[in-house]
Amino acid sequence: MLPFCSRVDLIEYSSTNVQWLQRRAAGLEADDGEDWAPFWAVLAENAAYAERGGDQPLRQVADKVVVTPGSVFDLPEAQWDVGTMFFVACSISSEVDEFYEAVRCFLHALRPGAPFAAAFMIGSDGYQVDGVEFPAVRVGQTMIEEAIRDMAGDAKVIPIPSGGGDPLRDGVEMALALGLRAG
Ligand SMILES: C[S@@+](CC[C@H](N)C(=O)[O-])C[C@H]1O[C@@H](n2cnc3c(N)ncnc32)[C@H](O)[C@@H]1O
């Protein structure tokens, strides 16, 4: 979103993750962003990114990113012109209702017509980080379609199979929902 947006809000619930995001944004300003360069190189194959990125596109992170502590459940209505939500709604708890409500709140926060991308883990019952167990709702393609149907009827849900014979986690895949906020 960097080349196209005057401001990018990152909303995160965990205070330690908020601090990490703030450090990363500040670090990128100090040329600490080399690990993102290969990702940007892929984006810059598209002329729209190449033209708008400038010769130091990652510096735009420091200029445009605002990290805000907050919850997806408390987002204001119709606030943003474009939005992404990656692996959040399925990874808050093991409560199915919270998955649907988080997707609804994310879409509710976008203005009518706003493009969005939302990624989900498929078939995950939870995951471990540094020995700590985190919960997940085991979602599938149909649940994702149900979650977005009322607020983005024309959205596509694209399955992303695990890569080759070396999946990140056995039995777990991903899906990407792309669409426009209805209204
Ligand atoms: C599985 S991680 C995904 C992180 C990142 N988006 C990525 O793709 O690598 C889920 C993230 O959702 C955050 N989260 C959990 N509950 C949340 C809530 N109610 N509102 C916003 N973020 C939340 C967690 O702190 C965590 O950073």
pLDDT of residue 39: 83
Q: Look at ligand 1, atom 5, and give the residue with the nearest C-alpha.
A: 86
Name all residues whose Cβ lies below 6 A of ligand 1. 12-14, 17, 71-73, 86-88, 91-92
Helix axes 96-108, 141-149, angle to 10 degrees: 40
Range of the structural domain that residue 43 is part of: 1-70
pLDDT digits (tens, 9 = 90+) for 123-161: 999 999 999 999 999 999 999 999 999 999 889 999 998
Q: Is the pLDDT of residue 52 over 90?
A: no
Same domain assignment for residues 76 and 119: yes
Same domain assignment for residues 176 and 114: yes
* Residues sharing a CB contact under 8 Å with residue 160, sequence separation 6 or more, in sequence order: 173, 174, 175, 176
Of 70, 86, 118, the position where a domain reaches its end is 70
Same domain assignment for residues 98 and 178: yes
161, 173 Cβ separation under 8 angstroms: yes
From the CA of 13, how far away is ligand 1's center (Å)?
7
From the CA of 55, how far away is ligand 1's center (Å)?
31
Distance separating alpha carbons of residues 79 and 88, to the nearest angstrom: 19
Same domain assignment for residues 89 and 158: yes
pLDDT of residue 58: 72
Count: domains in the chain: 2
Looking up residue 169, the CATH number of its domain turns out to be: 3.40.50.150
Same domain assignment for residues 37 and 83: no
Q: Look at ligand 1, atom 20, and give the residue with the nearest C-alpha.
A: 71
Of 70, 86, 117, the position where a domain reaches its end is 70
Phi then psi dihedrals of residue 64, to 5 deg: -110, -25
pLDDT digits (tens, 9 = 90+) for 77-99: 999 999 999 999 999 999 999 99
Between 28 and 102, the more confident residue is 102
Mean pLDDT value across the chain: 90
Q: Is the pLDDT of residue 33 over 80?
A: no
pLDDT of residue 163: 67
pLDDT of residue 177: 98
pLDDT of residue 29: 45
Q: Look at ligand 1, atom 16, and give the residue with the nearest C-alpha.
A: 92
User: Is the overall model pTM greater than 0.85, yes or no?
Assistant: yes
Same domain assignment for residues 105 and 53: no
pLDDT of residue 171: 83
Q: Residue 108's closest CA among 93, 89, 92, 90?
A: 89
Q: Is the pLDDT of residue 25 over 70?
A: yes
Same domain assignment for residues 75 and 102: yes
Same domain assignment for residues 137 and 52: no
Same domain assignment for residues 33 and 75: no
What share of the chain in percent tops pLDDT 90?
Answer: 67
Same domain assignment for residues 51 and 35: yes
Same domain assignment for residues 57 and 76: no
From the CA of 88, how far away is ligand 1's center (Å)?
5
Q: Label residue 65 exposed, middle or buried (CB < 10 Å: 0-12, 13-18, 19+).
A: buried
